[in-house]
Amino acid sequence: MRQFRTRILLSSGVLALLGACSTVSSITGSGTAYPVFFEAWSASLDASGHDAIDNAAAYAKSHPGLPVVVSGYAGPDGSAQANVDISRLRAQVVTDELVKDGVAADRISRKAEGAEAFTQNATESRRVTITVGSP
């Protein structure tokens, strides 16, 4: 029973961490990345998603020479086509918000990556990654 409680607490901690990560950027070799996480089969943005997009837009506007890449992903459940469709929709929703926040549409390229396996929790896969500065 104790192991079960520990696993539940650990799982809850992972979810909380993933939620917090949606407002935190990471600097990679190919640019600065901003993850936006989604619920299963949803393309609706929550408050942390809007925060991540706002932060990405501010960074992109302060670095006008850098390209912006919006990559949508889906969890591994469902058909290949359904996963491509939801990842495309998520990427479009995020792109639309970036444009509303003042990022020029011609700077943004979108990718629908489809399903992606996860390591700890399915939420890892249900995301859009905004990368500012990748080629």
Higher pLDDT, 7 or 30: 30
Mean pLDDT over residues 82-99, rounded? Answer: 98
- Answer for the pair 94, 131: CB distance below 8 angstroms, yes or no: no
- What is the pLDDT, as a whole number, of residue 81? 96
Distance CA 51, CA 60 (A): 14
Q: What is the CATH number of the domain that holds 84?
A: 3.30.1330.60
pLDDT: is 8 or 62 the higher one? 62
- pTM of the predicted model as reported, rounded to 2 decimal places: 0.79
Domain that holds residue 51: 2-132
Give bridge partners of residue 27 from the DSSP assignment. Answer: 32
The total domain count for the chain is 1
Helices (H), the chain: 2-21, 47-62, 80-100
Pairwise CA distance, residues 54 & 75, whole Å: 24
